[in-house]
A and B are shown apart, each in its own frame.
Chain A
Amino acid sequence: METAAKSASICPAKVSEILAKYSRRPDALVSILHDVQKEAGYLSEEAITEIASGLDIPVSKVYGVATFYTLFSTKPKGQYVIRVCENAPCHVLGAKAIVEALEKELGIPMGGTTSDGKFTLEYTSCLGVCGVAPAIMINEAVYGNLTPERVPLILKEYK
């Protein structure tokens, strides 16, 4: 069976505050998850359990919703989150080669986080810069017209 995440980064008291803000309404689950993620960076097992207990709904359901939406993460993320666009225009213009280059350079598979906690690699949908496809985003910065050769150079700025 999968093991628990090693560290949890939000205190139950803080989760409780967020729950109170939504009057502990089960129908506000998605907003609550949003707020907790914003606070903690991700949704830890402890946070998910606290939310289930606070809303008095099954914890399996909270986990189900937390894993359903791609904008939520149940794993801690790196300091820099690299998002690779996976939509058609980027795909056609070579996103796959970019992913391979990133995976090779960082030594992690898609969806993973480097062991030093620095980088997380994930897919995202259209970044709205299809004109410069293929494109990626590192935190808030967008990089377009990418080639596999440029990948190490860009990453260097963050290392």
Chain B
Amino acid sequence: MAMVTIDGRKVEVDAGTTILNAAKKLGIDIPTLCHHPDLAVQAVCRICVVEIEGQKLLQPACAFPVQDGMVVYTNTPRVRQARKVNLELLLARHPQDCLQCVRNRSCELQALAERFGMREIRFEHKLRGLPEDHSTPAIVREPDKCILCRRCVSMCHDVQAAGVLFPSRRGADTVVTPVFGRGLDEVACALCGQCIHACPVGAISERDDTERVWQALADPNKHVVVQTAPATRVSIGEEMGLPPGQIITGKLVAALRRLGFDKVMDTDFTADLTIIEEGNEFLKRLKEGGVLPMITSCSPGWIKFGEHFYPDLLKHISTCKSPQQMFGALVKTYYARKAGIDPKDIFSVSLMPCTAKKYEADRPEMCDSGYKDVDVVLTSRELGRMLREAGIRFEDLPEEEHDDPMGISTGAAAIFGATGGVMEAALRTVYEVATGSELPKIDFEEVRGLKGIKEAQVKVGDLDVRVAVAHGLGNAKKILDLLREGKANYHFIEIMCCPGGCVGGGGQPIPTTMEIRGIRGNALYEADRGLPYRKSHENPAIKQIYAEFLGEPLGEVSHHLLHTHYTPRQKYPSVAKAVCGEAAG
């Protein structure tokens, strides 16, 4: 333990605690910029500097460990002056476009400028004129706004193991960029969007597709249908000023109707459908000696990562499409037929917590209905923007229900949005389908929570089914490396690209920290407990779609509409090759 005095008050903390955290215990909020609670210490911005008695230089509070007897001052004229100069230097080469910036009011740099009362910048304002990156349908990079904090680097390398973003060059020339200054479309980027959550400013953001949705909503010839992903029902509240973890399903449905969507249906319905198809695929692989372990396929960031880094393991991935794409294929076939609407007039929008789903919807194979199955993917943040623009206020909204025929869902589908949820949902169904008897206990606590890799063993008939769950690509990598070495002794693996699962998706409200991911996840388990059906195979709308349209799980129609294939991709961008004359001769 160490006793330190900060601004004249004493506090006892564990030795090695940073000054930043010690001060927090006293209720002192030292300003930070390159520091992020979930990421490696960078200590490059020097916004957090403090004075320590006996030390000549100011020290960064985010990195400096306390020692017993240390005396610290966090708010002296010298400290304030140094912080201001550092901020002014950053602002001098920053666009300061707040009014037109996607991060207006959620930007840490802007908040600091407000907090420090910046009224003038004494240095010459000079922008670098670096090119923007609009090369992918999911993520936009604006390097001129980058303040070189390296938080995205830590996220992309340490947490997501994709290793896409890294600083190149040095000093004032530094740029945080994909290799060779290429666009994200040319490198092995999962398009997970986690770098957006890491970024304190507007240097990385989602592609904004709201205008295309406004246009469709205003077009009288379009029948505009929206599906709502599991994780959005516990996060959209944050876009509307509510604290994290509020279950706002009913209000969300009402809000979408107010915006003008003709039908508001539910991705949770196709999450249940995924469980039926994937559960049966798993049982088939077990019975017929197919490739095991089988890995879940509902996270398109994971799929893209797998295609780049583990092309040799693609046969392990379930052929089931993600719930988003199952919905897209069905809305322009099953629903169109039932509602008597020409599928060419249907405009299908999906509300997702995810940036990678924008890419998924654009994959050329996702046109099994004969049209583009999902026309536009909106992230939670984009929908928040639309709701605010339309002046819709959550407090005034009633709770409404999703529309038929793809609106009824179960608790098993709700938990899809949390890490471990797909596995739990699958186990609830696989057990009962395989054994024909009722599950003694429906909650699988072992696969819940934020531990990086979770394991469980479940007796299904005579077989001990061994399962593993990984969230965040860094954790997934650990399991996949074992699998490659033939050491992953499991039958079934759930992989979610984003830490915490979809509740922590790259399209979710800002901020998304580990703590908030956990709170949203818990809300989904609460939603599960409150629903009348909690097992996918008990969903009456699912029984109906098999009876009326699909026939049987893994049948002909399912095969055509609900299953897909994967494409091996490059780990490295293509480069000019040397002509190796001697080697050839």
Contact = CB atoms under 8 A, between A and B. Distances in A.
Interface stretch (B175-183, B219-227, B414-422): B175-183
A44 interface: yes
A45 B166 CA distance: 16
A53 B573 CA distance: 12
Nearest to B579: A7
Contact of A13 (B177, B183, B571, B583): B583
B403 to A, nearest CB: 43
Contacts of A13: 580, 583
A52 B572 CA distance: 9
B489 interface: no
A31 interface: no
Given A59-B163, A61-B163, A12 B180 contact: no
A53 B572 contact: yes
B577 to A, nearest CB: 6
B580 A49 contact: no
B435 interface: no
Contact of A60 (B163, B574, B582): B163
B575 A45 contact: yes
B180 A64 contact: no
Interface string A80-113: 0000000000000000000000000000000000
B544 interface: no
Contacts of B187: 60
Given A64-B168, A68-B170, A46 B163 contact: no
Interface residues of A, number: 30
Contact of B577 (A1, A8, A59): A8
Contacts of B179: 48, 59-60, 62-63
Contacts of A70: 170
Contact of A12 (B157, B167, B580): B580
A4 B163 contact: no
Contacts, number: 90
Majority SS at the chain B contact face? loop
A6 to B, nearest CB: 6
Interface residues of B, number: 33
A100 to B, nearest CB: 21
B168 A1 contact: no
B164 interface: yes
**Most chain B beta carbons < 10 A, residue from A7, A52, A60, A68:** A60
A125 to B, nearest CB: 13
Contacts of A157: none
Interface in B400-435: none
B171 to A, nearest CB: 10
A58 interface: yes
B315 to A, nearest CB: 23
Given A4-B180, A12-B578, A58 B157 contact: yes
A73 to B, nearest CB: 12
Nearest to B173: A67
A2 interface: yes
A115 interface: no
A44 B572 contact: no
Interface string B429-455: 000000000000000000000000000
B191 to A, nearest CB: 16
Contacts of B580: 11-13
A151 interface: no
A60 B135 contact: no
A1 B576 contact: no
A139 to B, nearest CB: 24
B166 A1 contact: no
B575 A4 contact: yes
B578 A63 contact: no
A5 B576 contact: yes
A17 to B, nearest CB: 11
A18 interface: no
B575 A1 contact: no
A127 interface: no
B165 A60 contact: yes
B583 A45 contact: no
A16 to B, nearest CB: 11
A61 to B, nearest CB: 5
Interface in A1-52: 1-2, 4-13, 44-46, 48-49, 52
11 contacts: A1-B183, A11-B582, A11-B583, A12-B578, A12-B580, A48-B179, A58-B164, A59-B573, A63-B168, A64-B166, A64-B167
Given A1-B186, A7-B576, 19 more contacts: A1-B131, A1-B181, A1-B182, A8-B575, A8-B578, A12-B578, A44-B578, A46-B576, A48-B180, A58-B166, A60-B166, A60-B178, A60-B187, A61-B157, A61-B166, A67-B169, A67-B170, A68-B170, A70-B170
Interface of B: 131, 133, 135, 157, 163-170, 177-183, 186-187, 571-580, 582-583
